[in-house]
């Protein structure tokens, strides 16, 4: 039976050939059958695939079904609320708001409101009157060029991972809605500049756009690019949520002339993103670099982005702030649930602290040191709805960034082909035949609409809670079901520090008790006890 289809095709092919030779008819049938007969014969003769050798022709049906498996599950099998990584319900919400079509729902929630992890915001008996939904926060109020930022902005996505027209649409949408667009580590491309939307320039370990030929940091190139009025803030990238602690290589074949010019690297040569910075190697060195960039940029708000890993390393940075008085204007916390064009499976699934816990740790540390009112915190990690923003700000963030939500607005369908250069919607590809199909004016309007309608939804939540601005949200406003019979506010589930508590001693908090005292402002090295445990297994 394993060979039945192959044998049948071969016999039919021979019969068609005989008909053509004997009667001059059947050439069309022969043309159809002959390639299948040849393929089956090759399956039998080749030695690389046991499956194809044992199941000639039939094996290819398996490969075809396997190839469309994600689409079959996404469209026909998964529930509307299955998060893989974004549920159909979440994607539909982004599409509806991007298109400014009806986003109300009938007949009750699809959420299991008695299931663990269900969350809600408590409303007030005295809701607030509607106010403007253009919620903003001032970043770098001590700087010469402070920035009034929206509470919902576009997260870091580089030209190279996204197409030219996707970058154009995102930036034009940001300009239309007066919110910011993070360049990603690939630096500022001509497509970021075309429509003049506010930019947050991400400076990563490769120093793209501000590097010397040997890959080291160039003050002159940085100062020239940072002087552009379109660049509103500078962000030093330490790590990203999707693959923290991991560098990258853009193969030379993909380093086009445009990408080479944008990044300041040779065309056609492998472009290396190191896993670590070469300009500094200690917490104090990081802060000195941040301060150096701030000066070179003309005193624009400057900070850093990180995914939390070893707690003592973050505590070392915090101690360096306290000891030196050199403060970043902002810190962006990137959660492990963040996405990327491509990352190793283990990094996607098992490296880095999720955004909720990471955000609370950073917020707590700054509160405990009495620095929270001088440093703004942004947060990124699977944020797509007004409630996502409200919950994140209640946990300690001043503003939120989103990447994939805005990708949906541009037209992404979560095909998960970002790493193949065959994105079906032209969003995450460098193939002009694909990305030229992205209509920039239309998609820019959708980016603007998504931002605007999401903030309107946030405004409605704020008003229902009896507040005037999302900055008033605290952990007491968000409730979470932890079991079928237990509910707690985030204030009771997580341990929040009091202002200045770290200045008075180590608080009763497991992470601080374990690592705070041993963290060092002059080194990222592990505490002695941890280092000793590591060496105890060495031979």
485-518, pLDDT tens digit by residue? Answer: 899 999 999 999 999 999 999 999 999 999 999 9
Please, is 35 exposed, middle or buried when counting C-beta atoms within 10 Å of its C-beta (0-12, 13-18, 19+)? exposed
Are the CB atoms for 328 and 289 separated by under 8 Å?
no
pLDDT band at 532 (very low <50, low <70, confident <90, very high): confident
Higher pLDDT pick, 66 / 508: 508
Instruction: Determine which of 203-212, 335-344, 470-479 has the lowest per-residue pLDDT on average.
Output: 335-344
List, in sequence order, every residue forming a beta bridge with 138; answer none if it has no partner. 148
DSSP class per residue in 23-74: HS--HHHHHHHHHHHHHHHHHHH-SS-HHHHHSTTHHHHHHHHHHTHHHHII
pLDDT bin (cut points 50, 70, 90) of residue 533 is confident
Radius of gyration of the chain (CA): 27
pLDDT at 63: 83
417-432 pLDDT per residue, tens: 888 888 899 999 888 9
Which whole-number Å values give the CA distances from 83 to 277, 337, 382, 386, 414, in the listed order? Answer: 34, 12, 11, 17, 12
Give the best-scoring range by mean pLDDT among 34-38, 89-93, 98-102: 34-38
Q: For position 80, what pLDDT does the model report?
A: 66
Please give the Cα distance from 95 to 486 (Å, whole number). Answer: 35
User: Which two structure tokens, joined as six digits, stand for 471?
Assistant: 């900055």
CATH H superfamily, domain 136-493: Aldolase class I (3.20.20.70)
Do the bridges between strand 376-380 and strand 399-402 make them parallel or antiparallel, or are there none, so unpaired?
A: parallel
Domain ranges (residues) in the chain: 3-77, 136-493, 501-536
Most confident region among 87-91, 107-111, 158-162, 280-284 by mean pLDDT = 280-284
pTM of the shown model: 0.89
Residue 242 predicted with pLDDT over 90: no
pLDDT of 221 > 90? The answer is yes
């Amino acid at each position: 039976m394993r060979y039945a289809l192959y044998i049948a095709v071969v016999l039919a092919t021979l019969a068609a050939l005989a008909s053509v030779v004997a009667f001059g008819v059947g050439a069309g049938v022969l043309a159809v059958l002959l390639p299948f007969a040849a393929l089956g014969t090759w399956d039998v003769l080749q030695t690389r695939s046991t499956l194809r050798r044992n199941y000639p022709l039939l094996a290819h049906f398996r490969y075809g079904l396997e190839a469309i498996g994600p689409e079959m599950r996404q469209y026909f099998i998964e529930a509307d609320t299955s998060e893989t990584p974004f549920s159909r319900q979440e994607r539909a919400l982004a599409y509806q708001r991007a298109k400014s079509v009806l986003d109300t729902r009938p007949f009750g929630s699809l959420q299991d409101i008695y299931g663990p992890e269900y969350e809600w915001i408590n409303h007030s008996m005295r809701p607030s009157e509607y106010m403007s939904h253009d919620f903003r926060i001032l970043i770098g109020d001590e700087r010469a060029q402070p920035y009034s930022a929206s509470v919902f902005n576009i997260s870091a996505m580089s030209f190279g991972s996204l197409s030219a027209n996707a970058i154009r649409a995102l930036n034009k949408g940001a300009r239309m809605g007066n919110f910011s667009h993070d360049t990603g580590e690939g630096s500022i491309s001509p497509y970021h500049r075309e429509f003049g939307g506010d930019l947050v320039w991400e400076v990563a370990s490769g120093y793209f756009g501000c590097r010397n030929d040997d890959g080291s940091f160039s003050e002159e190139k940085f100062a020239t690019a940072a002087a552009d009025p379109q660049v509103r803030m500078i962000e030093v990238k330490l790590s990203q949520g999707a693959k923290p602690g991991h560098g990258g290589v853009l193969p030379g074949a993909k380093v086009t002339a445009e990408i080479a010019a944008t990044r300041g690297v040779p065309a056609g040569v492998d472009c290396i993103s190191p896993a670590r910075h070469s300009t500094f190697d200690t917490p104090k060195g990081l802060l000195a670099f941040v301060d150096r960039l701030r000066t070179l940029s003309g005193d624009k708000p400057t900070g850093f982005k990180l995914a939390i890993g070893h707690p003592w390393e973050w505590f070392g940075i915090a101690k360096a702030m306290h000891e030196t008085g050199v403060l970043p204007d902002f810190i962006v916390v990137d959660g492990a649930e963040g996405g990327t064009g491509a990352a190793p499976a283990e990094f996607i699934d098992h490296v880095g602290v999720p955004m909720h816990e990471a955000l609370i740790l950073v917020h707590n540390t700054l509160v405990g040191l009495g620095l929270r009112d001088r440093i703004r915190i942004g947060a990124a990690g699977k944020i797509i709805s007004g409630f996502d923003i409200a919950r994140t700000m209640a946990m300690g963030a001043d503003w939120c960034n989103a990447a994939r939500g805005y990708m949906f607005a541009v037209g992404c369908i979560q095909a998960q082909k970002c790493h193949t250069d065959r994105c079906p919607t032209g969003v995450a590809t460098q193939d002009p035949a694909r990305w030229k199909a992205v209509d920039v004016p239309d998609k820019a309007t959708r980016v603007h609409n998504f931002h605007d309608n999401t903030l309107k939804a946030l405004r409605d939540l704020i008003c229902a809670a009896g507040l005037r601005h999302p900055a008033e949200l605290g952990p007491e406003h968000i409730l979470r079901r932890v079991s079928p019979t237990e509910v707690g506010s985030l204030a009771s589930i997580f341990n929040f520090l009091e202002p200045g508590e770290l200045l008075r001693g180590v608080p009763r908090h497991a992470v601080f008790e374990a690592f705070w005292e041993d963290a060092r402002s002059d080194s990222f090295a592990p505490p002695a006890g941890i280092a000793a445990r590591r060496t105890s297994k060495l031979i």
